[in-house]
Amino acid sequence: MDHGMYPGNKRSNEEILSNPNDHKRNRNAPSVRTEYRFLIAVSDAYAIFGRNGENYQSIRNKYHNQIDISQAPTPERILVFYGDEDRAMTILGDILPIMAQNQGVRPGFVELRAMIHSSQAGAVIGKSGDRIKEFRQKYNLDTKVFPNPTPGDTTERVLSLRGELPNIIECLREVYSILDQTPIRGPIRNYDPTVYDGADVERYGGFMENHDFQATRTRFNPNHHQQHNNNYNHRNNQPYYPSNNGPMPTTTLVTIPNSLSSSILGPRCSRIAQIRQQSGCVIKFDDPLPSNDRIISIIGLPNNIIHAQYLMQTAVKQWTNSTISS
């Protein structure tokens, strides 16, 4: 049982925690937004709290208790801001650098997962995924609305934004403008992390235990050639695995247009079988998303993942060249 982030540091529920379902927006007046909800990893929550909770309490005092973090014995938390949009974005401007430092991908780069009502997801995605693609191009972000609602018969879905801090905030402002013009349909049932389901995190956008933010989900660029895998043994077409003290396998999620899938899979999946064998990686294709994109999971050692990406890019380039020449 999780009795608190910092055992021995006694703080009341009123000071630190709130039920995320206690502050529900009036769905009949979507233009008056008073609550901004985000799904965060427990490691980000610890970073926001700081030593003995002093950092968190300082932020709450600064913003007159307009910020809360739920608590549950699970790998994820709900971060909530209350008030108008300008105040919420100002708070976010203080929180995101803390999250970026904790995530440690690179300076000024952060991942944020915003909660939106399921009935409004289509407005964010746009027809054939046009609006999500526009966000990616306009703000230079990796953007995705996860296909499944959060666990527990809720009406929330997760919008993931990955990129530079100022771009995250500007994109969110546009997202909230769209949502405020899109009335909520149906009931509002907010996600409570106490009903966390680790088996479905990849479908609803949740966090696994010890989530690795550097297992980056990137946009697939067939024109960008990655460096060859230095640990790849070209003589016998087998990956080289270092000793017990070497790097551990990780997962990289790559997003591609579904139209390129066949170029990587090949006839009767012969090409992807070859890429798996040569790279030594486990490679899985998700079902196509409503945006007509497709997510590929590449699981292996970091250098093997780089080699798998190189082989996939080569397959796409060869397919593109053959299509143009014909």
Of residues 102 and 199, more confidence is placed in: 102
Same domain flag for 148 and 60: yes
Same domain flag for 255 and 195: no
- Decide: 35 and 27 in contact? Cβ < 8 Å: no
Same domain flag for 161 and 289: no
What element of type H or E holds 171?
helix 165-180
Domain boundary among 204, 237, 272: 204
Q: Is residue 77 domain-resident?
A: yes
| Residue 91: band (very low, low, confident or very high) from pLDDT cuts 50, 70, 90 | very high
Q: Is residue 46 domain-resident?
A: yes
Residue 73 neighbours by CB distance under 10 Å: 11
Contacts with 166 (C-beta within 8 Å, 6 or more apart), sequence order? none
Look at 60-64, 80-84, 229-233 and tell me which has the smallest mean pLDDT: 229-233
Each residue's pLDDT tens digit, 120-159? 999 999 988 899 999 999 999 989 999 999 999 999 999 9
Domain boundary among 143, 174, 204: 204
Same domain flag for 191 and 263: no
Say which CATH number the domain at 291 has: 3.30.1370.10
Rg (CA), the chain: 21
C-alpha 132/C-alpha 255 separation (Å) is 13
Say which CATH number the domain at 146 has: 3.30.310.210
Q: Is residue 193 domain-resident?
A: yes
What string of H, E and C letters represents the secondary structure of 37-74?
EEEEEHHHHHHHHCHHHHHHHHHHHHCCCCEEECCCCC
Same domain flag for 50 and 192: yes
Q: Is residue 65 domain-resident?
A: yes
* Claim: this prediction has a pTM higher than 0.95: no
C-alpha 313/C-alpha 317 separation (Å) is 6
* Structural domain boundaries enclosing 52: 34-204
Q: Is residue 265 domain-resident?
A: yes
Arithmetic mean of pLDDT, 257-265: 90
C-alpha 167/C-alpha 75 separation (Å) is 27
Same domain flag for 44 and 160: yes
Domain boundary among 173, 204, 235: 204
C-alpha 152/C-alpha 104 separation (Å) is 31
Same domain flag for 159 and 49: yes
C-alpha 301/C-alpha 7 separation (Å) is 36
Same domain flag for 114 and 260: no
For residue 184, pLDDT over 70 is answered with yes
Same domain flag for 264 and 170: no
Same domain flag for 40 and 154: yes
| Residue 326: band (very low, low, confident or very high) from pLDDT cuts 50, 70, 90 | low
Q: Is residue 17 domain-resident?
A: no
Pairing of strands 293-300, 282-285: antiparallel
C-alpha 83/C-alpha 238 separation (Å) is 57
Same domain flag for 108 and 196: yes
Same domain flag for 129 and 38: yes
Arithmetic mean of pLDDT, 241-267: 74
What is the predicted pLDDT for the residue at 247? 55
Contacts with 191 (C-beta within 8 Å, 6 or more apart), sequence order? 20, 39, 78, 115, 150, 151, 152, 154, 156
Q: Is residue 120 domain-resident?
A: yes
3-state DSSP assignment of residue 222: coil
Q: Is residue 310 domain-resident?
A: yes
Number of domains the chain is built from: 2
| Residue 160: band (very low, low, confident or very high) from pLDDT cuts 50, 70, 90 | very high
